[in-house]
Chains A and B, each alone.
Chain A
């Protein structure tokens, strides 16, 4: 659905994107994960046709962002990081304006607004001025704006930025739900958000893509974890519940340790593959790239 091929973006002498390539499958929720300043917003601005690429090609739903910019903009719903809204307008007025601008026929505007507002849970504030809403509500109004014309592709730039924990959970749940019937590409630097909402991940660092693929493929296998009760393990760590655990480099080593623990009168609680978390994997990737 989104194809990025050797995309370069330079601002004067500064290279913000250094030949990045990745693709996003249709119907997935894909995270664009990177630290602040990694090039996430620049990439999204190219995808949304706000900025042109310096070189390389980018297409969305088969349309080229340079040559078929208008078709791309009809296909996407885009929420910039700053959630720009006209604060003096009422929510309903604003969504109506945006729907008409995005080509929703006049007779369909009311139903389009109702559908988007219901999905984003802002029906109760349709008559409220946007300036009077909380940040969480404004965020949801911004997302309602992005989906009001029923786009095939939704591009969200840091949609939970600046929200409190409860609001973050709401927006995450909304993003996950929106991914059920469209392609969602969401930039973030918050790892629990990726784990909670996304199927696939594109990791960007200093203008280069370090890794891209399913969430599970991001983290390496980290050996085998053995947890026992009633005995100690060599180099193991004890827990307050009376168990102790240790991570072995492979299954054979772990099996041997388990056999020894059983012989010593211990009880096997768990023998399972150990995987590093995305946070560790992300740190490993970015540290490796910096080295």
Chain B
């Protein structure tokens, strides 16, 4: 399975390389992180790395509502629109391999973007002589972990329609739900309620906060992995639905 998903991921990376949206996405990430690096130079020079990375991560998380749908909306919808989907799935490859291959390619491009974001602050802090590699890595992991969920949501949205634009809107709606639904429900519950505690852990905002503080929480990582897997499973089932017609 890994082999064929890898072949699909490689082709998808080639497609990303010639798609303008990829460069717009990476360019936005670079510009944002440069702005953050210069805008927060004072904070960074005072050695307050937590504040610096938390602010960066918070804004980056906000950008995911836009970037993840942009990267993932074409993954499957474009194949359907152009007719290449028929050629793809009549090759000896499973629907799950198709979904995983596509997702992995988007994840790689996205991870590159997250690395670019981390790069400027790292250079700034290295110049200042006080880089905290562990905390930077934790923040990076938090970024790619939470973004995995958004990308998987975008992959699922892309499996639902042959229209890229509609897939993009659906992906944004899913991302908004995933990010804000726990907070909205939390407001209706008392603090000591069991569901409230679970929803606090499920909040991507709080997971990013932990990561920015340098806390690598196994529960957070498990949550990110399981939600990502569930969304990719939904996308696979959607592709398989043509067999139920």
Task: Using known A-B contacts A102-B92, A103-B92, determine if residue A97 contacts B11 with beta carbons closer than 8 Å.
Answer: yes
Residue of B nearest to A10 (CB): B245
Pairwise interchain contact B87-A145, C-beta atoms closer than 8 A: yes
Q: Which residues of A contact B8 (CB under 8 A)?
A: 101
B92 contact from A70, A84, A97, Cβ within 8 A:
A70
Q: Is the CB of A73 within 8 A of B87?
A: no
Contact yes or no, A51 B14, CB < 8 A: no
Asked whether A93 lies within 8 Å of B14 as measured between CB atoms, the reply is yes
- For A97, list chain B residues within 8 Å (CB): 7, 10-11
Q: Are A85 and B7 in contact (CB under 8 A)?
A: no
Size range of the interface on A? 20 to 34
A246 to B89 alpha-carbon distance, docked (Å): 56
CA distance A102 to B88 in the complex (A): 10
Contact of A49 among B7, B82, B90 (CB under 8 A): B90
Q: What 1/0 flags go to B68-111 for Cβ under 8 Å of A? A: 00000000000000111111111111100000000000000000
Asked if A88 and B18 make an inter-chain contact with CB atoms under 8 angstroms apart, the answer reads yes
Q: Provide the main secondary structure of the chain B interface.
A: helix
Q: Decide yes or no: A52 and B243 within 8 Å by CB, A84-B82, A84-B83, A85-B84 being known contacts.
A: yes
Distance of A102 Cα from B89 Cα, bound (Å): 11
B193 adjacent to chain A (CB < 8 Å) = no
Residues in A with CB closer than 8 Å to B4 are: 101
Whole-angstrom distance between the alpha carbons of A240 and B18 in the complex? 64
Which chain A residue shows the least CB distance to B89?
A50
Question: With a CB–CB cut-off of 8 A, which chain B residues contact A52?
Answer: 243-245
Q: Which residues of A contact B93 (CB under 8 A)?
A: 101
Distance in angstroms from B81 CB to nearest chain A CB is 10
| Closest CB in chain A relative to B87 CB, distance in Å | 5
Q: Which of B11, B15, B87 makes the CB contact (< 8 A) with A84?
A: B87
Q: A51-B242, A101-B4 are in contact. Are A88 and B15 (CB under 8 A)?
A: yes
Complex contacts, A93 vs chain B, CB 8 Å: 14
Shortest Cβ distance from B244 into A: residue: A52
Compute how far the CA of A11 lies from the CA of B244 in the bound complex, rounded to whole angstroms.
11
Check A86–B84 contact: CB distance below 8 A: yes
State which of B11, B90, B94 has its C-beta within 8 Å of the C-beta of A78.
B90
- Also in contact, A74 and B92, with CB within 8 A (given A82-B83, A84-B86, A97-B7): yes
For B11, the chain A residues whose CB sits under 8 A away are 86, 89, 97
- Indicate whether A243 reaches chain B with its CB closer than 8 angstroms: no
Evaluate whether A80 and B86 lie within 8 angstroms (CB atoms) in the complex, with A73-B92, A74-B92 already known.
yes
In Å, the complex CA distance between A225 and B11 comes to: 62
Asked if A98 is at the interface (CB within 8 A of a chain B CB), the reply is: yes
Given the interface pairs A52-B245, A80-B83, A101-B4, the reply to whether A73 lies near B90 with Cβ below 8 Å is yes
List B1-19 residues whose CB lies under 8 Å from chain A. 4, 7-8, 10-11, 14-15, 18
Q: Which of A11, A48, A86, A89 contacts B90 (CB 8 A)?
A: A48
The distance from the CB of A230 to the nearest CB of chain B, in whole angstroms, is 62
The one of B87, B92, B242, B245 that contacts A80, using a Cβ cutoff of 8 Å: B87
Chain A residue numbers with a CB within 8 Å of B242 are 50-51
When distances are taken between beta carbons in the complex, the residues of chain A under 8 Å from B84 are 84-86
- Are B14 and A89 closer than 8 Å at their CB atoms? yes
CB distance from B178 to the nearest CB of A (A): 31
- The reply to whether the CB of A260 lies closer than 8 angstroms to some CB of chain B is no
Q: Which residues of A, 8-48, contact B by the 8 Å Cβ criterion?
A: 11, 45, 48
A100 at the interface (CB under 8 A from B): yes
**Contact flags (1/0) for A68-90 with B, using CB distance below 8 Å?**
00100110101010101110110
Contact check: which of B15, B91, B244 meets A73 at CB < 8 Å? Answer: B91
Contacts of A74 in B (CB 8 A): 92
Q: Mark A93-116, 1 if CB is under 8 A from B, else 0.
A: 100011011110000000000000
- The interface of chain B, by Cβ under 8 A from chain A, is 4, 7-8, 10-11, 14-15, 18, 82-94, 242-245
Given A52-B243, A80-B87, 13 other A-B residues pairs in contact with their CB atoms under 8 A: A45-B86, A50-B242, A73-B91, A85-B84, A86-B84, A88-B18, A89-B14, A97-B7, A101-B88, A101-B92, A102-B91, A103-B92, A145-B87
Complex A-B: 30 CB contacts under 8 Å: A11-B245, A45-B86, A50-B89, A50-B242, A51-B243, A52-B243, A52-B244, A52-B245, A70-B92, A78-B90, A80-B90, A82-B86, A84-B82, A84-B85, A85-B84, A85-B87, A88-B14, A88-B15, A88-B18, A89-B14, A97-B7, A97-B10, A97-B11, A100-B7, A101-B4, A101-B7, A101-B8, A101-B92, A102-B91, A103-B92
Q: CB within 8 Å of B: which residues of A?
A: 11, 45, 48-52, 70, 73-74, 76, 78, 80, 82, 84-86, 88-89, 93, 97-98, 100-103, 145
